[in-house]
Copies of this chain bind each other. A is one copy, B any other.
Amino acid sequence: MSWIDEVPWNEQGLIPAIAQDAASGRILMVAWMNRESLELTSRDNQAVYWSRSRNRLWRKGEESGHVQSVVEIRLDCDADAILLRVQQAGGIACHTGRQSCFFRKLENGRWVTTDPVLKEPSQIYGKS
């Protein structure tokens, strides 16, 4: 059996994937993968996800340049998720221009933004 057949794809053929910064350990983002995206990620050592909103492969950084070089791919025991340890180009994983998508923290009953915007999204995506 191929390693990719050991991944318990859900009914939609997807599995969540966590991207973690290999240097800092910071969790950068969570996205989804289908079989093809995991195969490509493994083959090229560049993170490729499946965009559920756009219903197509999403090569992370294809628009922003913020690609993720994959250092390591891990699978958990009951295979709820894939873990990618990555080197994050530009130090920005989030479409809001922040390092991590997890930039809100629960404090006294409110989600408080704790992380600065490192680059304005208009500067990242504004090429029209």
Contacts and interface: CB of A to CB of B under 8 A. Distances in A.
Interface in A82-128: 83, 94-96, 98, 100-106, 109-111
A115 B74 CA distance: 12
Contacts of A106: 3, 42, 72-75
Interface residues of A, number: 38
Contacts of A98: 77
A26 B101 CA distance: 18
Contact of A101 (B2, B16, B77, B101): B77
Contacts of A24: 25
Residue in A2, A16, A18, A109 with the greatest tally of chain B CB atoms within 10 Å: A18
Contacts of A76: 29-30, 100-104
30 contacts: A2-B109, A3-B106, A3-B111, A6-B111, A16-B30, A16-B80, A16-B81, A18-B27, A25-B25, A25-B26, A27-B27, A30-B76, A30-B80, A30-B81, A42-B106, A72-B106, A74-B102, A74-B104, A75-B106, A75-B111, A76-B101, A76-B103, A77-B94, A77-B95, A77-B96, A77-B98, A77-B101, A77-B104, A78-B101, A80-B101
